[in-house]
Amino acid sequence: MKPQNKAQKSQQRDVKTPKISSKTSLLHVGIDLGTSRSAIASSNGSREVMASLVGWPKDSVSAKVLGGQTLVGDAVLKNRLALNTCFPLKEGNLAFTRLSGSEQDLSRQAGVQLLAALRNACNPRPDQAVCAVIGAPAEATRENKQAIVDLANEAGIEGVMVVSEPFAVAYALDALENAIVIDIGAGTIDLCRMAGSLPGLEDQVTVFRAGNYVDQRLAELVREAHPEVQFTSNMIKMAKERFSSVIDTEKRAVVTFPIAGRPTPVDITDQIRSAVEELVPWITEAIQSLVASFDPEFQHLIRNRIIVSGGGSQVFGLQESLEQGLESLGGGRVLIVDDPVYAGAQGALKLAQEMPTEYWTRMRG
Amino acid sequence: MKPESADSPLSIPNSSVHPLQELQDKGIQKLRVVTQTQLRETARKAVSRALLEMLDGLALPSEQHQQILARANQYMSPTIATAADRDEATEVVEEGREVTAPMIKVPSPVNPPMPTPAAAEQASASVSDGPLGKREKALLIQLSKLIARDWRTEMATVRDTQNTQVERLEMRIEELTLALQATDHAIAVNGDLEIDQLEVKSPFDHKKSELLDQLFQANVALREISESPQPGDLPSLPREGRSS
């Protein structure tokens, strides 16, 4: 169902950009706009992470049950049977830029709703103008970056700057020189080489095989091994996040999936390991390309400072597997950030806060 | 333990009589035998002593004051127990078995430790002949209660406890004040040094302003291009992601 009813139109009006002249102070926010989950951190101390998912009631009954409202975030997952759902981002980019017609309108509106929900999660005061630095994939297209700015403005975010997501992580960690930052998300794996300046085209690589690809491969492998098992993509995703591992452990990944309607324990350890391991060669290949094209005199420095962030960084054993993969390049050292879910948003917030006020004034004008 | 029989010569409410064997079973090996007269004398002395202590704080006419004082001093004088008095303690405890002083008066533990009514009655009877009989009786009852509560000891205990707490708090405040002064001093002395150290710890700070400026310029360019009338004919930007 399209966002045509009265309640939805009312919500659309609610997220229109307020008059800038009425704002007397700034609220800085950093946003990690992810394919699967999006995070926001603000200068008033609030932090929030939510599923990048928007849902509208399927019919009048569900509209009545849900109050006729558009749902955003994890609430959509809980009520998805009564909703038409939409992921506004695909492979790290806003999906509507690749769509047309009514699908494009729907996807675009979902993007606005998601950004509005993130903005509202920070509880800005009425007199505060929200100024955001938003992380985008390392190789985001110009059209996609501009689409992010437009949708953010529509969502009530007055000042918007777009930055490469791994660069935001690097800025948060002060790893601005001689480092490679890897952001493993659901849609993409973004790699960014930091050489003391704003990373350019040659400094960034995006791998379009990430968490969602693992989910897809895991579903295929489970279906091959246990054709009688019933599952959904969400069940596969939850199983992966709970048991993901790329090295041998004695712990077995046993999940309960229905078989002919009867809950049955199923061992999917081997399938998870195989699906996750498929990512490692892609990452090491991307690292190699960034190292090989770097100044030979400093290659050993960036090899020994590889920082991994994002939800995918929590895969058990990834650190060791990547270091093994770097052996062919002469070895390297891989570091996992402490707060992978919010590292990008915190870096973006740091950028927003340290950006001179006059820059924000110009961006808002 | 069994209730005291009603026909006992020393009937005291809320007290009980214990067979000797029961006490021995409980590990009691020795008993002190006190005659009724000795008990009476002890009670009189205790009441008189309390009366003397209270007398200074009472606003009484001097004549009455002197009378009470004289009566109290009278009871404070020592007396000699007679053989008859000792015989009063002899009592048949069990059926047909006569023992000397096997009876032990044990006040009930559930009741407050008040002077035995027998002693109180004796003291009351001894002073009821005077002109202040009723007043004395009231005073004696009050005094008995005060003595039972041991209010002086209780008050002293509370005062000591409070004094200890106050002293401890004063010492703690003094310690914290000294610590605060030391901290202020350290901050004042090392403030500049710490700022210098922080600057040394962030070697890329000098590049940050340049990075922020580059980021700002890239976003301004992005905005200007999007506002151009022909977005399809866009020149590439030096610091922009590649187009698909």
Residue A296 has pLDDT above 80, yes or no: yes
**Mean per-residue pLDDT of chain B:** 65
In B45-186 the beta strands, taken as DSSP E runs, fall at: 91-94, 97-99, 106-107
Distance CA A190, CA A286 (A): 9
Strand runs labelled E in B20-153: 91-94, 97-99, 106-107
Looking at residue B193, what is its pLDDT? 57
User: Does the model's ipTM exceed the 0.90 cut?
Assistant: no
Maximum average pLDDT range among A18-32, A103-117, B196-210: A103-117
Could you read off the pLDDT of A153-192 as tens digits, one per residue?
Answer: 999 999 999 998 899 999 998 888 899 999 998 888 989 9
pLDDT > 90 fraction of chain A, expressed in percent and rounded:
35
The answer to whether A363 contacts B223, with C-beta atoms less than 8 Å apart, is yes
Is B241 within 8 Å of A145 when comparing Cβ atoms?
yes
Collapsing DSSP to helix, strand or coil, B3 comes out as strand
- CB pair distance less than 8 Å for B243 and A351: no
Residue B211 is nearest to which of A140, A142, A197, comparing CB atoms? Answer: A197
Name the CATH superfamily for A211-277: ATPase, nucleotide binding domain (3.30.420.40)
Residue A6 has pLDDT above 60, yes or no: no
Look at residue B204 in the predicted model and tell me its pLDDT: 55
Instruction: Report whether A79 contacts A54 (CB < 8 A).
Output: no
Inform me whether the pLDDT recorded for A112 exceeds 70: yes
Quick one: pLDDT at residue A188?
A: 87
Q: Which residues of A touch B220 (CB under 8 A)?
A: 362-363
Report which of residues B63 and B239 the model is more confident about. B63
CB of B219 closer than 8 Å to CB of A148: no
Predicted pLDDT at A99: 85
Nearest CB among B204, B207, B234 relative to A142 is that of B234
Question: Residue A290's pLDDT is what?
Answer: 92
One CATH from 3.30.420.40, 3.40.50.1980, 3.30.70.2860, 3.40.50.300 for A6-172+342-361: 3.30.420.40
B contact test, residue of A139, A198, A364 with most B CBs within 10 A:
A198
Give the residue on A whose Cα is nearest the Cα of B203: A174
d(CA B95, CA B82): 28
Beta bridge partners of A255: A266
Taking the Cβ of residue A222 and every Cβ of chain B, the question of whether any pair is shorter than 8 Å is answered with: no
Query: Which of A136-140, A229-233, B177-181, B210-214 shows the lowest per-residue confidence on average (mean pLDDT)?
Result: A136-140
Cβ neighbours of B199 in A, within 8 Å? none
Q: Which residues is A180 bridged to in the sheet?
A: A193, A306
Most confident region among A14-23, A26-35, A58-67, B107-116 by mean pLDDT: A26-35
Is A6-172+342-361's fold the same as A211-277's? yes
Quick one: pLDDT at residue B132? 58
Closest residue on chain B to A361 (Cα): B216
Confirm if A313 and A340 have CB atoms less than 8 A apart. Answer: yes
User: Looking at residue B229, what is its pLDDT?
Assistant: 55
Tens of pLDDT, residues B145-184: 777 666 667 767 777 777 777 887 888 888 788 888 877 7
Chain A residues within 8 A of B223 when measuring between CB atoms: 146, 149, 363
More confident residue, A104 or B112: A104
H/E stretch holding B63 reads: helix B62-76
Query: What angle is formed at CA A13 by the lines to CA A7 and CA A15, rounded to 5 degrees?
Result: 110
Domain chopping of chain A, boundaries: 6-172+342-361, 211-277
**What is the predicted pLDDT for the residue at B180?**
83
Proportion of chain A above pLDDT 70, given as a percent: 91
> B215, A198 in Cβ contact below 8 A?
yes
pLDDT at A117: 94
Interacting residues of A148 by C-beta distance below 8 A, sequence separation 6+: A33, A94, A134, A136, A140, A160, A162
Can you tell me the mean pLDDT for B48-76?
79
Tally of CA atoms within 13 A in the half-sphere of B141 that contains its CB? 8
Mean predicted confidence (pLDDT) in B194-202: 51
For the residues A43-60, what does the mean pLDDT come to?
A: 91
Asked if residues A144 and A187 have their Cβ atoms less than 8 Å apart, the reply is: no
Query: Which residue in chain B is spatially nearest to A145 when comparing CA positions?
Result: B222
Q: Give the range with max mean pLDDT: A141-145, A198-202, A351-355, B106-110.
A: A351-355
Lowest pLDDT segment from A62-76, A170-184, A212-226, A340-354: A62-76
Residue B150 is predicted with a pLDDT of: 67
Per-residue pLDDT band for A243 (boundaries 50, 70, 90) equals: confident
The reported pLDDT for the residue numbered A305 is 92
- pLDDT score, position B68: 81
pLDDT-derived band of residue A211, with 50, 70 and 90 as boundaries? confident
Residue A309 pLDDT exceeds 80: yes
Query: pLDDT value at position B120?
Result: 46
Contact criterion met (CB < 8 Å) for A196 and B204:
yes
| CB nearest B202 (choices: A141, A174, A351) | A174
User: Looking at residue B187, what is its pLDDT?
Assistant: 76
- The CA distance from B44 to B50, in Å, is 10
Give the best-scoring range by mean pLDDT among A112-116, A314-318, B76-80: A112-116
The answer, as to whether pTM is greater than 0.80, is no
Give me the pLDDT at residue B196, please: 53
Q: Which residue has the higher pLDDT, B73 or B105?
A: B73
Distance from CA of B169 to the nearest CA of A (A): 37
Q: Is the pLDDT of residue A246 over 90?
A: no
The Cα-based distances of B61 to B58, B65, B132, B133 in angstroms read 9, 6, 12, 15
